[in-house]
Amino acid sequence: MNIKMKEHGVTIAVYPGSFDPVTHGHLDIIHRAAKVFDKLIVAVLNNTSKNPLFSLEERMDLIRQVTKDLPNVEVDGFRDLMVNYMKIKNVNLIVRGLRAVSDFEYELQMASTNHKLNSDVETFFMTSKPTYSYLSSSIVKEIARFHGPVTDLVPPEVEEALKLKFPVDQD
């Protein structure tokens, strides 16, 4: 096996996801992975089978805003198979967050599929802090859609962006 985790002596990993929107759970994984790897690429997927609330560019911009204090984090977007993106970036290490057993089943299937498509690709799993084990972008959007409080779920920049997407009626 030829793991290309290091490029010029630097350990690089990719943390892929939809991030629609980025939550405190995502940021927990980003911050922790940024401490483990020399460089972390947060790769925002433009999933053609989903109808995202935020455009790819908006999601990337929000992540850049909330990770600006992390100099070793790069934000990028992709519209392809993960293994193809990894090949373009010349990186073979994927970081994925796990909240619950149900996540593990799905993530194991994805890791196995990626490994089948490219045997050099390895997936490293990071468990979320228990504080975020229930948190998902879908839950955040549902709460925001009905003008519920999302302050403890997302950074202030994301909360403001959600308010713009779901304005309170002026009747």
pLDDT in tens, 89-133: 999 999 999 998 878 989 999 999 999 999 999 999 999 999 999
Q: What is the mean pLDDT of residues 30-41?
A: 97
Average pLDDT, the chain: 92
pLDDT range class, residue 43, cuts 50, 70, 90: very high
Give the catalytic positions in this structure: 26, 50, 99, 137
Tell me if residue 52 falls in helix, strand or coil.
Answer: coil
| Pairing label, strands 6-7, 10-17 | antiparallel
Residues 6+ apart with CB under 8 A from 155: 22, 24, 27, 65, 66
What pLDDT, on the 0 to 100 scale, is given for residue 115?
94
Determine the Cα–Cα distance for residues 73 and 37; give it in Å rounded to an integer.
Answer: 10
Mean pLDDT calculated for residue range 63-77: 98
- Selection from 86, 26, 17 nearest residue 56 by Cα: 17
Interstrand relation of 73-78 and 39-45 (parallel, antiparallel or unpaired): parallel
User: Do 13 and 5 touch, CB atoms closer than 8 A?
Assistant: yes
Q: Which two tokens stand for residue 54?
A: 């935020």
- Integer Cα distance of 38 and 6 in angstroms: 9
CATH tag, 7-133: 3.40.50.620
Check residue 123 and give its pLDDT: 96
Sequence-distant (≥ 6) Cβ neighbours of residue 162 within 8 angstroms: 21, 140, 141, 144, 150, 154
Percent of the chain with pLDDT over 90: 82
Q: What is the mean pLDDT of residues 16-33?
A: 97
Q: What pLDDT sits at residue 103?
A: 86
Which pTM was predicted? 0.91
